[in-house]
Structures are given as structure tokens and as C-alpha cells.
Structure 1
């Protein structure tokens, strides 16, 4: 054993942070991982007691497989035959590892204890399959390795339910690596943790899980994780946007988007292999429950030309002929999605090889099958992914190849473009009963972002592409025009609802004129909600839903009756009484005070002090009395203290600037942190004002700084709409009066200086 009075040997050196690109590249790849494992083995042997019979040290996890990343933890098992003083031996091993600041997952077991735990704990059982002798009694280590492998072959099928439960929970927590813009390379579905599962299924003899494509995908993901560790300088498995460029450079990949698409493809390969493994296990378990094979398997019809066999969908014998129906692949996919059963691998391969191309226009059966597939609910996502795996989607929609695994760069997006489109169609099923044409809603949802990845505004660019696809599908001209309009205007309702004054008649008349008919308003409303929910949590909120519903109601009224909204009258209670007057009503905060410059900015600062985010504001002056109304939402979800907020607002209304002094100072100190802010003037969109739009990155006190700058520039703000999109904002300010080009330049400069 290492002398406790002497310094323990130094651990292997890790790559120096900030090293040159070429030097860091030397730490990536299979050879580099082997070298790391060998160096760690040597160090651990130096720490291990010498001439100690009946005790051995085994590596499991990444070190056991010799694929440890530059900053991976160590997973070690100290095995013994009941050795005296084993706790002291273990401490002598573990403390130098901790002192070296290496992560350590460790256990101390006898051989029977290790096998007993593995017998009932599937995670331990899988871990022992990677066990490798490092130091000490080699015979003892080999005895455990052989016994654990034999026990796994005998108990694997029994432990499958536990394994599936743990795996499903992990996937639910971490999502699908193939479709996430910032996925976990290890824990997400299709990540490296799933490769451990595949090895286990293969070692149990259930299926051939580690085929060449899976092995190649695994090596590329391991290389990506190596590069990620080196780029960040610590252990991290989530590939976030700001690290993609550095990782791509280390892997000699041309750009971050190409890296993300490669990761997506590798994750898909692994996820598909896991799906195949689950099916093999289910078939084996089903056979055991029936007591083994007894004649031909049962077949149950589920749709025209489609039957269920052993929990999978296969073709009916009558469907296989010299000239198959071109709509067959779509009908099989729709059946799989509706009954929520997988398509058998052999059936998918047959459809990919022998199903003829769809004619143009599509036959009615194919079009009906597509709508059924898109409207199938939870079964849509797995059925679509299976069809994509075997190339069927490309046969239906040749444009899909361009969109597959395409990154979306706005931070509010969670998924790649292809998954976002399918997810939007899935979300749209919640609104099919609210529209006259649910089929057009589902098709529009699938195609709404088809222009992304091409130069120009994706709504404008995508509209003719969607029209071409709708024509090819076989929709009549009137329906093609509706789909084209849905794609072109799919952002209209959310943008107007969150950035415009909905009490302004011009806002309503403009939207009504652009859409043209009530049925399309309903379609766009449903599409906007589905799109927001499919984008990610930052794209949807209750207040956004209320604003869109208010806008839709007013537009429908305008289209039905021609009536436009009258300008709202001020709250009578705010027009009377001693100033200042404060009203708090849920998310509405109203203050009436003597008209003075800086009131709007002061109230905004007070709301920020109470951790309230502003989503809208209205101001009006009546007889020297200024009335400001704010619509807010809690920044962290907790409700505000109404007594404290009302007291502070009264002091602000009375002109006491000390209330918000700290917030003002912090807000002013945050200036300059926004990259490339823009001011855009929107004319002819309001009845009695021009609209100044500020597009910038969000920062503390931004609303206070901008309203203060507008006050100082002499601008009268009639209304404001605050739209936050992830880390960005689009703030719209209605400025009363007509503004000359020189005045606009002066005000814009003041606003940009405040940002």
C-alpha cells in the first residue's frame, strides 16, 4: 500500500484549459480515450495495496469500457473475500482520488454481495457488464466478471420492465437528442446511455444490437463528448448553442449547424436500434408467456391491407401484389399512428423498396391517409419517425430532406425544424373541433415553417412552397389558396396581439383586411396556438393566449358586422378622488397621478422592484390627471404583495423618487450589454400615433431606461406592448403626434443610447 506518510502519486494530467486547437485535438478519438484509460490504470495500481490477497479493484462505466472522456468521473468497485480492515483499505484508495479533484462513484462489495445487488437492480447489473480488472487479485475480478455476465443472461428478461421504466423516465426528463437544439449527449434518448442499454441487450443474446452503423454513431458521439469537455474545460454533457462552434472546430466540422445535424443523425441511429431492441424483447417475453411457439402467429385486421401480428403492424397478404397501391405506405403509417402500434421492420423495408411513387395529384385515399396520420394524436410522432427512418417521408414530400435535423437558431425554439413541424401538427389536434376545416389546419401546421432555411422571410418564402405541396397533394384551388395564406400569415395574430394596441380601430381593420374571412381567422388562431406550444415554454403564456383571443374576437366582429372597437374609456374610479390613486386587480396595475414627465418610467421601475414583468401599458391624460395602466406577470411565478406594492406606487405617484432609487441605479448600470439593438418605425399602423419598435436583447431595467429616454426626448407615450421572446424583446411604443424624419432620428438615437 502507498505509505500514508508519503505523498500519493500524482494523477494523470488533464488537458490544459485554453490550449491550442491542435493540442486539444490530440485528446479526441479512440486512441486518446485508450491512452487516458491506460494512464488512469497505472495511477490506480500505484494507489492500490501491494501483496494483498483476496482484494481487487475493478473499473466500470467509462473507464471499464476504456471510453472515458477528458473530464469523466471514475466508477470503481473494490471487491474482496471478507478481508479484514477493508474500510481502511477503501479509504486509502478513495481519498487520494478525491484529493486529486476527480469525481468518484465507488462501492465496496464481496462477490456474493455484488451478484445479489445485480440480481435485483438492473442499473448495477448493466454496470457490471462493463467491469474490467485494474489491480489486485485478478482471479477474483475475473470470477465476478464471468459470474455477472452469466447471471445477466439468465435474468435479463425478468429485469426488462425495471429497465424500461428507468429508461422511459430518463427520456421524459432529458428528451430526444435527435430533435433537441441543446441536447444531453449522454442521458437523452439516442444518447450514450442508450448504448449501454444496447450492449446489455446484446450480451443477453436477445438481439444483435451493436451493428456497424450503431458502433460508428457511438464513436462519433464519444468524439463529440470529448470535444465538448475540452471546449468547456470541465465535465459537461449538454451541447448548448454557445459551445457548438468550439466543438465543431475541434472536430474539424465546417460549422455548428453541420455538427448538430451529425449529432441528430447519430442519435437517430441509436434510438432506432433501441426501438428494435425493445421489440425483440417484447417478442421474446410474449413467446414465453404463451409457453413457446404453437403454430402460426395470430393476425388481427386493423385497417385496409394492414394487420397486427405479435404487437406489430404488417401487410395483409392481399396487399402484396405485382403493382402495389401507391397510397399503401401512407395508409400503413396512418393505421400505425391511430392504433399506436409499431410498423414491423420488414414491412417498412418492403414499403420503402416496392411501394410506387405517388402520382400528381395524389389520389383521394393518399390525401385522406395523410390527414388521418396528422390528426392521430400521440401516435403521430413515433409513426412519422419510423417512416422517416426508412425514407418514406422523402417519397411523400421531397422537400423534407432539406428540413431534416435543420437547427433553429432563435433561443425560444426547443426542437429542430423537422420535429417542430410534426410537433405543431400534433399540437393542432387539440383545436380541430374549433375550425370548419380541420384537414386544412393539420396540413397548414405541417407546412407552416417550410420556408425556413431559405433566404428571406420564411413566411413569405414558404407560402408558394406550401401552395405547391398542397397542389401536389390534390387539394382544390380554393383550399390551396387557404393553405398558402395560412403559411404567409401564420405569425400575424401572435405578432399583432403582443405588439399592437388592440383597442386601436386601425389595428383591427388592418388584421381583418389581411385575413379576409372568419373561417381563416379561426384557422390562423388555432395554428398560432399550436405553433407556440410546439416551439417551447418561452413561446407561450396565459397572457399571450388572452391577447390573441381578444384580437380574434374583435377581428371576427369586424368581419361579421363591420364594427370596429371604440377607444376605451378611462376607469371612472381613477378619474375621481385625491391623487394619487392606485388600483390593483390581478395582473392589472393602474395608477392615477398629477400629470408629469417621468411618471410612466417611475411606475415601470417600481414594478421591476416588485419582480413584476410588464407585458402591456396604456396611458391617457384627462384634465391634468395622468392615468397609467400596466398589465403584468410575476417574474418568478410568485404573486406580489399587494399592500407593499400599493404603498410604493402611491409614493411614486406622489413624486417620491427615492422609492425606486436602487432599481434606477441598477437599470442604468446595465446599459450597453445589448448586442446590435434596432429601432424600427412603423407608420400607418395606428390611428393617432406612430409606433416605435425596439428590438434588443432583454436586460434588467430595460423598460425603465427606454421609457425614461422617451420622456427626456419629449415623446408622449399613449401605449406600449412588451413582447419577450426568450432572451430577446420586441417592445412597441405608441408615440402621439406626427414625427418628422429628424425627430425620429433624434428619438431613435436616444432610445439606442439608453439600451
Structure 2
């Protein structure tokens, strides 16, 4: 159970698709090589993160060189053997059609950020990957605004993972979909996102989702009461409460980083005309505000000021600005050392 198993599951699907691609190309496209045609994984499959109930998200790329009849027979031969054992989400497009689809559909654009060759023309897939990355970065202000709106709508539907009794570990606020959003923001280059801070949280949520698929035998991401004990036992937690506590902590970690990241994005947008960083301003004893974030002053010794953490949090709440991630890490380290 873990990253290795999800990667092995993805690689097994790759091998199946590669074999089917070879047979379908030989039988229906009747070409001596595969230049100008390819199959690529996108989304979670592109990242090599297949859980047992995950869809196979693929795009079949071509250059318009085949008749509709020939291309249709090829696609059917490629996909038909998969439908008994997998749920396949696929599209058939040229490079230009892929660009058009990404411009008009945020979900398509996000999926293409993780495009990965499975079989066929590697150069064609590389060009599509290059197109997708450049378009995402060139239009990052517009696309990130779309992403935030879409995310807020999803949060309103699915609620907050950390506080739900039966949460959706993928769609709820603080869940796996938000982790994907953080990766997309990072790829845009708009701001630096310290993704290492949520690596443990991601592993926790991925493992819970994978175990849920296994014990339920279905592609479902909502952790219902009647399945929590089974999932906890499968993952070797002492009980369901222990598991749900860890899930909630993971969600809070993701949610905080996401809120902090959007704060940085908004700060960047609002300060594009400012040529230098703002000077830190003292707002309480050993507490300052710098770049619209609460920070504990350099040189402050937390062990000599036992309420400085509370003072920093209270000041942040009063001023309506977040504490910097560095300050949060400093407080966490101090608590771990018992200072």
C-alpha cells in the first residue's frame, strides 16, 4: 500500500495499452511506423497515481492523416478490450484540437499538465506537453483565477474535509483535488509553492483513498461511516477515530498551504507596480508584519516568551492577515522541542 503500488498499477496499465496499441496500429492503421500517432496518459494516470478504482484518462493523438473510418476502427480496437475491466475517459484529437480544447476547458488544461507518453510518437506527445505548459504559464493570471473560482464552487458542494463525519477525500476542501491545484499553481510559476510541506498529508490521503477503493470494491471517494472501520483496519490504524484524526490533520495542512498560496498570488497581482518589497513594521512585542504576513522577529527567543505564539496568532486574526509559513514552522519546531 503506497506510492510504489500506485506506480506499479499505472505501469501495468501502460503495458496493456502498449500491447493493444501495437496490435491496433498494425491491423487498422496499416503503417510501418507510428510517427504521427500516439497514446498518452493525462491527469492522475499521467502522474502514475492509479488507485484500484481510478479512471484511465488518456488522449489519443494523431495528425489528421487517417480517414474517420480507419481512425474509428483503430480507437475501438485500442479501447474495447479495456472496457470490461476499466473505466476509460478518453479523447481523440490532433495537436491543434488539443490546444483548442485546453483553452476552452480548465479540466482539460489541468490534465494536460501531467501528460505522459504511453505508446507511439514521442515527439508528438512532447510537442503537446510543450504547448500545454507554455499556454498555462503564458495565461497564468486568467487560468489561476478560473482555478480558484472552480475550487470555491467545489468546496461549497463538498464541504471541508477536516470537519466532515463522512468526507470526500478527493473533492472536499483540503483533499486530493486541492493538492492537484497546488501543483498546478506551482507549475504556472506565478509563486513558489513549498510542496514538500504537504508530502505527508498527500501520502495519508492517497493511502486512505486507495484502501477505500479496495475494501469497498468500488470507485468511490466518500468515506462513509460503515466503511471507516474497515479502511482503518486495512491501514493498520488502532481504530477509525485514529485514522479520521490523521485525515483531518492532513486536510488542515493542505488547506493552510492552499490559503497561503492564494494569498501570495493575490499579493503578487496587487503589487505588480511596486518595485521593492515593503519594509517590516512592528505590530506587537517581537511580532511584525512584512509583505502582508505576520512574522516573529529575527532574534526572538520563543523559550523566553512563552505566549509569543498566541500573540502572533491573535495579531494575525485581529489584522486579518496570515502568519508566514516560516513563522508557523518556527512555532511547530519550538513546540516539538518543548520550549
Normalised to the residue count of structure 1, the TM-score between the two structures is 0.39
Pick from 77, 89, 92: which aligns with 2:74? 89
Instruction: Report whether the alignment pairs 1:109 with 2:93.
Output: yes
Work out the CA distance in 2 between the residues paired with 1:210 and 1:97. 38
Pick from 193, 214, 217: which aligns with 2:177? 193
Q: Classify the secondary structure of the residue corresponding to 1:182.
A: coil
Work out the CA distance in 2 between the residues paired with 1:117 and 1:300. 47
Residue 148 (structure 2) aligns with: 164
Pick from 240, 246, 250: which aligns with 2:230? 246
How has the CA–CA distance of structure 1 residues 150 and 265 changed in structure 2, closer, same or farther, with 3 Å as cutoff?
same
**In the comparison of the two structures, how many residue pairs are matched?**
324
Residue 42 (structure 2) aligns with: 60
Aligned-residue RMSD, C-alpha: 3.2
Instruction: Report whether the alignment pairs 1:136 with 2:136.
Output: no
Work out the CA distance in 1 between the residues paired with 2:186 and 2:213. 29
Work out the CA distance in 2 between the residues paired with 1:215 and 1:325. 31
How has the CA–CA distance of structure 1 residues 218 and 351 changed in structure 2, closer, same or farther, with 3 Å as cutoff?
closer
Indicate if the aligned counterparts of 1:58 and 1:141 stay in contact, CA closer than 8 A: yes
Work out the CA distance in 2 between the residues paired with 1:89 and 1:242. 44
Question: Any idea what the Cα deviations from partners look like across 1:144-188, whole Å, max 9, x if unmatched?
Answer: 122322332322233111111111111121122222221111111
Residue 204 (structure 1) aligns with: 188
Work out the CA distance in 1 between the residues paired with 2:121 and 2:206. 31
Tell me by how many angstroms 1:245 deviates.
1.5
Work out the CA distance in 1 between the residues paired with 2:293 and 2:127. 44
Question: Any idea what the Cα deviations from partners look like across 1:22-66, whole Å, max 9, x if unmatched?
Answer: xxxxxx322222222122112222332324541211111222111
Pick from 308, 321, 324: which aligns with 1:344? 324
Which one has the bigger helix percentage?
2
Residue 460 (structure 1) aligns with: none
Tell me by how many angstroms 1:213 deviates.
4.1
Q: Classify the secondary structure of the residue corresponding to 2:131.
A: helix
Work out the CA distance in 1 between the residues paired with 2:231 and 2:117. 33
Work out the CA distance in 2 between the residues paired with 1:334 and 1:29. 39
Higher relative contact order (CA 8 A, sep 6+): 2
Q: Classify the secondary structure of the residue corresponding to 2:57.
A: strand
For the pair shown, the structure with the greater C-alpha radius of gyration is 1
Work out the CA distance in 2 between the residues paired with 1:200 and 1:210. 13
How has the CA–CA distance of structure 1 residues 350 and 316 changed in structure 2, closer, same or farther, with 3 Å as cutoff?
closer
Work out the CA distance in 1 between the residues paired with 2:277 and 2:235. 51
Work out the CA distance in 2 between the residues paired with 1:125 and 1:192. 18
Residue 216 (structure 1) aligns with: 200
Work out the CA distance in 2 between the residues paired with 1:323 and 1:265. 26
Residue 123 (structure 1) aligns with: 107
Indicate if the aligned counterparts of 1:198 and 1:210 stay in contact, CA closer than 8 A: no
Indicate if the aligned counterparts of 1:119 and 1:155 stay in contact, CA closer than 8 A: no
Work out the CA distance in 2 between the residues paired with 1:138 and 1:315. 48
Pick from 292, 297, 307: which aligns with 2:278? 297
Indicate if the aligned counterparts of 1:192 and 1:218 stay in contact, CA closer than 8 A: yes
Normalised to the residue count of structure 2, the TM-score between the two structures is 0.82
Indicate if the aligned counterparts of 1:253 and 1:259 stay in contact, CA closer than 8 A: yes
How has the CA–CA distance of structure 1 residues 93 and 322 changed in structure 2, closer, same or farther, with 3 Å as cutoff?
closer
Indicate if the aligned counterparts of 2:174 and 2:255 stay in contact, CA closer than 8 A: yes
How has the CA–CA distance of structure 1 residues 184 and 316 changed in structure 2, closer, same or farther, with 3 Å as cutoff?
closer
Superposition map of 1:398-417 within 5 A: none
How has the CA–CA distance of structure 1 residues 336 and 40 changed in structure 2, closer, same or farther, with 3 Å as cutoff?
same
Work out the CA distance in 2 between the residues paired with 1:314 and 1:158. 28
Tell me by how many angstroms 1:334 deviates.
3.7
Tell me by how many angstroms 1:351 deviates.
6.2
Residue 275 (structure 1) aligns with: 259
How has the CA–CA distance of structure 1 residues 269 and 141 changed in structure 2, closer, same or farther, with 3 Å as cutoff?
same
Residue 13 (structure 2) aligns with: 40
Gaps of 5+ in 1: 1-27, 355-389, 396-755
Gaps of 5+ in 2: 26-32
Question: Any idea what the Cα deviations from partners look like across 1:578-622, whole Å, max 9, x if unmatched?
Answer: xxxxxxxxxxxxxxxxxxxxxxxxxxxxxxxxxxxxxxxxxxxxx
Indicate if the aligned counterparts of 2:136 and 2:143 stay in contact, CA closer than 8 A: no
Work out the CA distance in 2 between the residues paired with 1:299 and 1:121. 41
Residue 29 (structure 1) aligns with: 2
Work out the CA distance in 2 between the residues paired with 1:89 and 1:112. 20
Work out the CA distance in 1 between the residues paired with 2:9 and 2:214. 14
